[in-house]
């Protein structure tokens, strides 16, 4: 018995129409009709009566219905189990932003590997938009991206990393008990561009005070900004994860302003709807545990 014929039968039942079932299956209406006719020949009975525009089950169709639904459900579950088993034996393709690759995944992947020792991982770095498109195209299985939403993707916000101003420990602002935004406007500013929204929010802080930031460098690489900061080439707004070691060692010092409170870098985990769900749940759980234990400042979602 052809499972596609069973699938057509169940879809016609669900939608009450051959045309709507065809749309849902991405088939033509004659193709759905042909599948139903093939199934009827196999069963040697008529399954549907057509009364005007209505499609009604015959008595034989009503008898067959629960078995058809059970067959299709069993097939789908089996197919999902086989796919998960195959994935577990082979590889999971993970896309991530450069920041996630540098600072988040080294905290997460060791524990993930211990949970899935037979798994081979393949990492790709790209922009959030590129990763989202490749997960949709099934070229990647999981993505770590900036906050991201798409109807074809399951997206869950993992955490928010506070963005704060950092200065070298030898900088005058490091010992200023009450720094002001006015003081910052005179400093050479290095800017790590997490995203357009981050820069816009910080720029508006200056704008609200009638100030212009002294921007000398704008980069999408946190390591570049941090290395220049360590060479005392300026001051820089950075997410806390990128400077964990330097902050703990006292080399770089965070400076808080009331005007910039609440600005943070949001990171989401994405996967295709109904795909790679077990791996996504595992990564989310491990990420939450790793971030909570490494720094309580992260807002775990």
The pLDDT assigned to 83 comes to: 62
Long-range contacts of 7-16 (CB under 8 A, 24+ apart): 7/72, 8/32, 8/35, 8/36, 8/39, 9/35, 9/36, 9/39, 9/47, 9/64, 9/68, 10/68, 10/69, 10/72, 12/36, 12/48, 12/55, 13/57, 13/65, 13/68, 13/69, 16/54, 16/55
The pLDDT assigned to 296 comes to: 47
The pLDDT assigned to 211 comes to: 86
Q: What is the pLDDT of residues 134-151, one digit of tens each?
A: 999 999 999 999 877 787
The pLDDT assigned to 285 comes to: 92
The pLDDT assigned to 292 comes to: 76
Q: What is the pLDDT of residues 266-282, one digit of tens each?
A: 899 999 988 898 899 99
Average pLDDT per run of 10 along the chain, which is 301 residues long? 89 90 87 92 92 88 92 82 60 92 92 89 92 92 87 88 92 88 87 72 84 87 93 93 93 91 88 90 90 59 50
Fold designation for 160-264: D-Maltodextrin-Binding Protein; domain 2 (3.40.190)
Q: What is the pLDDT of residues 149-164, one digit of tens each?
A: 787 899 999 888 888 9
Both tokens of residue 231? 């060479």
Residue ranges of the chain assigned to CATH 3.40.190.10: 160-264
The pLDDT assigned to 177 comes to: 81
Stated as kind and residue range, the H or E segment containing 44 is none
Q: What is the pTM of this model?
A: 0.63
- Among 100, 99, 71, smallest CA distance to 13 is for 71
- How far are the Cα atoms of 243, 255, 284 from residue 183, in angstroms, in the given order? 23, 12, 40
Q: Do 284 and 269 contact (CB within 8 A), yes or no? A: yes
Q: Do 10 and 69 contact (CB within 8 A), yes or no? A: yes
The pLDDT assigned to 79 comes to: 74
What CATH number is given for 3-87 in this structure? 1.10.10.10
Question: Which residues, 6 or more positions from 151, have their beta carbon under 8 angstroms from its beta carbon?
Answer: none
């Amino acid at each position: 018995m052809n499972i596609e014929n069973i699938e057509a039968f169940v879809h016609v039942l669900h939608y009450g129409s051959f045309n709507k079932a065809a749309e849902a299956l991405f088939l033509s209406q004659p193709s759905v009709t042909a599948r139903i006719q093939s199934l009827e020949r196999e069963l040697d009975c008529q399954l549907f009566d057509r009364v005007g525009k209505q499609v009604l089950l015959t008595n034989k169709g009503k008898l067959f219905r629960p078995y058809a639904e059970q067959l299709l459900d069993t097939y789908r579950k089996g197919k999902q189990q086989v796919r998960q088993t195959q994935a577990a034996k082979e590889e999971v393709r993970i896309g991530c932003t450069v920041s996630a690759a540098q600072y988040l995944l080294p905290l997460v992947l060791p524990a993930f590997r211990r949970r899935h020792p037979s798994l081979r991982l393949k990492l790709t770095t790209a922009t959030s938009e590129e990763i989202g498109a490749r997960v949709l195209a099934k070229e990647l299985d999981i993505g770590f991206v900036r906050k991201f939403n798409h109807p074809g993707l399951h997206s869950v916000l993992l955490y928010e990393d506070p963005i704060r101003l950092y200065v070298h420990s030898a900088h005058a602002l490091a010992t200023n008990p009450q720094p002001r935004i006015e003081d910052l406007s005179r400093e050479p500013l290095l800017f790590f561009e997490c995203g357009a929204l981050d820069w816009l929010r910080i720029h508006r802080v200056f704008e609200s005070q009638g100030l212009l930031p002294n921007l000398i460098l704008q980069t999408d690489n946190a390591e570049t900004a941090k290395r220049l900061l360590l060479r005392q080439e300026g001051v820089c707004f950075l997410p806390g994860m990128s400077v964990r070691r330097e902050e703990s060692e006292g080399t770089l010092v965070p400076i808080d302003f009331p005007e910039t409170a609440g600005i943070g870098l949001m990171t989401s985990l994405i996967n295709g709807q109904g795909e790679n769900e077990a791996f996504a749940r595992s990564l989310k759980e491990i990420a939450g545990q790793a971030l909570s234990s490494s720094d309580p400042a992260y807002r775990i979602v």
